[in-house]
Amino acid sequence: MVVGARAAVGLLLCSLAMVTVGSTVVASKLMTAGLPPFTATALRFALALPVFCVLMAATGTRWPRPGRHDAAILAAQAGAGSVGYTVLMLLGTRLASGADAGVVAGTLPAVAAGFALLVLRERLGPRLLASLGLALAGVLVVTLPAGEARAVPGAWLGNLLVLGAVGCEAVFILLNKRLRQPLPALALSSSMAALGLLLSLLPALLERPWRLQVPASAWAATAYYAWVPTVLGFWLWYAGAARLSGGLAALTTAWLPVSALALSALVLGEVLGAGQLAGCALVLGGVLLGASAPGRRPGAGRL
């Protein structure tokens, strides 16, 4: 496949975006070492929101003034895609290994397609259905224990929570299609950061974060999550996707599980087993098959 210079730049930007998204698995693992889930979520958006505000001002982007219908959709998107995703990912990575969580997180395009089939009653072709099957098979490979070496207590629950986080992001993607007045990417991401902070603030206060002793690694991981995957990753994805067709943009989501596995080994020192590599291969196969399906739209949201 030969692509032009514009598409090549788009592929590079979207691929880098997916590498940052994959790194959220490792960041979440480090954050759970000292921060409870809602406190970490509130801190993520408290650090990201000022940057988004500066970007809004610098680009002249206006804050949205939605009607009742769209306001309800935005609130639901923030509850699922901003707060729900972050909290469930933090809880999941507390129990599951970073590598397992990365494989499960890589199923996002397939899970979004499955939700479209079940909730929106969209008709999916054979390739998308096969893509969904391959991705779910990959999840089963890394979740079902294969001998005592893989029988980590609570790992299956951790993987299930990460899959729930992926489901929350899929809900975000589907709800975005229900907006009567589509929003610019920067306005949408800024709104999600503001609403995410608002929705997570009270639960965070109930966790009494002022009594915590938080290690420096958790603080650093939270700042990284806020400024790199949340802000920079947003810019990389939307700048790249604007240069690509839906199928090419979706193709770059294959970097998500690869990034998560590689960083889990390099940063967390995890040893990758055959089951994790096989699960990753199945998920990648599902992503590539789904991206080649006719009419395929970008399958990544804003994590």
Domain residue extents for the chain: 5-208+215-291
d(CA 81, CA 75): 10
Burial class (CB in 10 A: 0-12, 13-18, 19+), 62: exposed
**Residue 114 scores a pLDDT above 60:** yes
Q: Give the per-residue pLDDT at 33.
A: 86
pLDDT greater at residue 252 or residue 146: 252
With bands split at pLDDT 50, 70 and 90, how would you rate the model's confidence at 109?
confident
d(CA 47, CA 43): 6
- Chain centre distance of CA 188: 16
pLDDT digits (tens, 9 = 90+) for 169-205: 888 878 877 888 888 888 988 999 999 999 999 999 9
**Residue 123 scores a pLDDT above 70:** no
pLDDT digits (tens, 9 = 90+) for 6-16: 878 888 898 89
Q: Give the per-residue pLDDT at 147.
A: 43
Region 221-244: mean pLDDT is: 89
Q: Give the per-residue pLDDT at 290.
A: 66
Cα–Cα nearest to 79, from 199, 197, 230: 199
Q: Give the per-residue pLDDT at 148.
A: 42
Q: What is the CA radius of gyration of the chain?
A: 18
Q: Give the per-residue pLDDT at 301.
A: 55
What pTM value is reported for the model?
Answer: 0.84
**Residue 149 scores a pLDDT above 70:** no
**Residue 287 scores a pLDDT above 80:** no
DSSP 8-state secondary structure symbol assigned to residue 122? P
Q: Give the per-residue pLDDT at 303.
A: 59
- Chain centre distance of CA 206: 26
Positive or negative: CA dihedral 285, 288, 291, 293: negative
**Residue 217 scores a pLDDT above 90:** yes
Q: Give the per-residue pLDDT at 48.
A: 96
Q: Give the per-residue pLDDT at 293.
A: 60
DSSP letters along 248-283, please? HHHHGGGHHHHHHHHHHHHTS-PPPPHHHHHHHHHH
Q: Give the per-residue pLDDT at 182.
A: 83
pLDDT greater at residue 33 or residue 71: 71
With bands split at pLDDT 50, 70 and 90, how would you rate the model's confidence at 224?
very high
Strand ranges (DSSP E) for 14-115?
none
